[in-house]
Structure 1
């Protein structure tokens, strides 16, 4: 495939959705499509530009080959529409909101993907999770503990995982993402 898959990961509350929204137009100017995930819950409750479907509808789409990637996490099912394969073949880059736990499977399917981990300081993550009000205090603390699991050496096998800190100004994170993509994608592909 001529395009590159940009696989954005990060803990809930790290600001992935805000980053994707803020970077959408500059990414498109770089020839990068931003994918709308399919999730088994109401799109209004997701807080992202996602398509909410019932579990039955999700399973039907999965069985019919409607997803290039799909996984389950936190009691929900997530899918990346198969259309990304067409975009990649046409040389378009594609940014997806992925899952840290599903990264090894994504790397098998897309060996040239660019893994990007959005990080955030624990105190900022706690504040964001409290502000959005979806999790109990116990669930928030569990998410904070899980956040600490992803501060290792920054690689999976021999693949470097690019890290972006989103603890401060979102505009800085957007610029850092765009700079990373310019470095990770061949100049003739931009």
Structure 2
């Protein structure tokens, strides 16, 4: 039996961490859905996602030693998903992680049955959320909003609109994870 990798992608400010957190609050206690804690070359500061931190040197060494199932660079930072997630997949669990669109081809090559979930929202909603974080200047927000993302997603990508209340997109995501879990149990 093998589990399902569920990758969540979308632009900065679309609410990936919020939707993942909504699902975590409802499903993590079951032990059947695992929410991967990313490793990032940024100190945790309360204003960003909850993550484990490594400096550049530690990250490079961990990467060389095979500590990551997937790793990538974005926005001047390095991101990695611990290789331990493969134990959860082997045990038939649904594994959820926030990924960069850029890494999706590697994800699909390594985990061919992965489900990609693309969160979307109107530009104005994303701009408001980015400004609300207080981490970026108006100029850097504008750059993020104007960023041309041409990384292709699989045709099977599930799109969820997260422009409204978190409960709406969150419930859709929870249902998707529950369906993936049921599918894994049938295999």
Same fold at TM > 0.5? yes
What is the alpha-carbon root mean square deviation over aligned residues?
A: 2.1
Once the two structures are superposed, what CA deviation does each residue of 1:104-151 show, in whole Å capped at 9, x if it has no partner?
A: 1111011000000111110000011111122222221121123x747x
Q: Structure 1 residue 183: deviation in Å?
A: 3.7
Counterpart CA distance in 1 for 2:89 and 2:48 is 27
Residue 85 of structure 1, CA deviation: 0.6
Q: Deviations over 1:18-56 (max 9, x none)?
A: 122221032323711001000001012661120011011
TM-aligned CA distance change 1:78 to 1:149, over 3 Å: closer
Give structure 1 stretches of 5+ with no counterpart: none
Q: 1:17 maps to what in 2? A: 17
2:56 corresponds to which residue? Answer: 55
The question of 1:2 aligning with 2:2 is answered: yes
1:44 match: secondary structure: coil
List, as ranges, runs of 4+ consecutive aligned residues in structure 1 with deviation greater than 3 Å: 182-188
The count of residues paired between Structure 1 and Structure 2 equals 185
TM norm structure 2: 0.90
Alpha carbons 1:36, 1:80 under 8 Å: kept: yes
Q: Which residue of 164, 178, 184 corresponds with 1:182?
A: 178
Alpha carbons 2:104, 2:153 under 8 Å: kept: no
Higher RCO structure (Cα 8 Å, ≥6 apart)? 2
The 5 Å alignment of 1:21-170 reads: 21-28=21-28, 29=30, 31-44=32-45, 47-146=48-147, 149=149, 155-156=153-154, 159-170=155-166
User: Structure 2: which 5+ residue stretches go unaligned?
Assistant: none
